[in-house]
Amino acid sequence: MDFTLGELVARLGGELVGDPAIRVRQIASLEAAGEGDVAFLSNPRLSAALQTSAASAFILSPKAAALTERARILTPDPYLYFARVAQLFNPPKAHAPGIHPSAVVASSVPASVSIGANAVVGEGCDIGEGCVIGPGCLLGDRIALGAGSLLHAGVKIYDDCIVGARAILHSGAVIGADGLGFARDGDKHWVKIPQIGRVILGDDVEIGANTTVDRGALDDTVIGSGVKLDNLIHVAHNCRVGDDTIMAAMAGLAGSTTVGKRVMVGGKAGFSGHLEVADDVTVSADTNVTKTIDKAGVYTSMVPLQSHADWVKNFSHLRRLDAMAERLRELEKKLASTESREKES
């Protein structure tokens, strides 16, 4: 599968500067690119790498147009254009429709669906056209899967959950396990509260490897359309995540927290339960969202790195901050009275 640069801009737009007959067939980084590759420059600081790159063509912003004499496509957002070229050059793997003989499928599925070896699909499932259910996937009963969804090998979905169209779920993801719902019997044992809600994923959702989204306790856990969750993320029961929100790996949401639309969450960030986070908020990596955030902006609580020796010196004071503040107040008071006595005398 290869394209001329002329074909590329005919399909994807952008302004071509250079020979439209040049043939390209893959994307690559500036450093690794060779003949037939397209590379992109989104950061002008990397222009040195551009000079030495062996790519056949470049994707550049108009203001970077003069950085090279070679074939280039000018577009206001080179990274987005690059994504589109990458998709064109690397279409999803084709899966032959049909059910592998080793799979155990108790629901009827459209002929266009592909179900891999040793997968298990329970009763009453509603699997959309063109879905791919990878080897070893384990689906319970009455699960709905929207058209065109792709489950990589070894995804698990509990009963009654709903996945929208064009979802991509990665290996080891678990959708719909019970939330941590227990009432305490006096000060002794924990009594399980059956978790009778579902998980509902919107359209175009991607869920990373080994990420878990728990079913609701009473109501549902809802992940909006276009949401992208990285690996090893935990979404607790009754959470609601707004459309087009993206979370990096190891982020975690405690129960009943509502996150807005287009929120960006850094890796290892955590959210306390029962909070509301506004649309368009950015949460930095390793930050604890300990209270409701009601307006867009960037929020952070990450602890900066130090050499261990500096850390020992500095962080011992964290246990004495209140005493330091008190000593500061005391000094201010004393100095004020020194000054006032000085003035009087």
Residues known to be catalytic? 237
Choose, by CB under 8 A, the member of 12, 54, 153, 278 that binds a copy of itself. Answer: 153
- Asked if 2 is part of the footprint of a copy of itself (rule: CB under 8 A), the reply reads no
- Asked if 52 is part of the footprint of a copy of itself (rule: CB under 8 A), the reply reads no
Task: Kindly identify the residues of this chain, within the stretch 257-296, that bind a copy of itself according to CB under 8 A.
Answer: 262, 267-268, 270, 272, 282, 284-291, 293
Nearer to a copy of itself, 19 or 123 (CB): 123
- 3 state DSSP class of 243: coil
Rg (alpha carbons) of the chain, rounded to whole number: 27
Choose, by CB under 8 A, the member of 11, 25, 63, 317 that binds a copy of itself. Answer: 317
DSSP state of 187: T
Question: Which of the ranges 7-15, 21-29, 50-58, 67-75 carries the binding residues for a copy of itself, by CB under 8 A?
Answer: 21-29
**Residues 235 and 213 sit within 8 Å (Cβ to Cβ):** yes
Nearer to a copy of itself, 40 or 71 (CB): 40
**Cα–Cα distances in angstroms (integers) from residue 265 to residues 80, 229, 279, in the given order:** 20, 10, 12
Could you give the string, one character per residue 205-244, with x where binding to a copy of itself holds by CB under 8 A and - elsewhere? -x-xxx-x-x---xx------x-x-xxx-x-x-------x
Q: Residue with structure tokens 């090279």?
A: 68
- Asked if 177 is part of the footprint of a copy of itself (rule: CB under 8 A), the reply reads yes
Question: Which of the ranges 9-17, 60-68, 123-131, 133-141 carries the binding residues for a copy of itself, by CB under 8 A?
Answer: 133-141
**Residues 144 and 160 sit within 8 Å (Cβ to Cβ):** no
- Asked if 152 is part of the footprint of a copy of itself (rule: CB under 8 A), the reply reads yes
Say which residues have a Cβ less than 8 Å from residue 13's Cβ, sequence separation at least 6: 75, 81
CA distance 143 to 245: 24
- Closest approach of a copy of itself to the CB of residue 172, in Å: 5
DSSP string across 80-107:
HHHHHHHHHHSPPPP--SEE-TT-EE-S
Other C-beta atoms closer than 10 Å to the C-beta of 341 total 9
- Asked if 84 is part of the footprint of a copy of itself (rule: CB under 8 A), the reply reads yes
DSSP state of 200: E
- 3 state DSSP class of 304: coil
Choose, by CB under 8 A, the member of 110, 126, 339, 340 that binds a copy of itself. Answer: 339
Nearer to a copy of itself, 19 or 182 (CB): 182
- Asked if 47 is part of the footprint of a copy of itself (rule: CB under 8 A), the reply reads no
Nearer to a copy of itself, 21 or 311 (CB): 311
- Asked if 194 is part of the footprint of a copy of itself (rule: CB under 8 A), the reply reads yes
DSSP state of 63: G
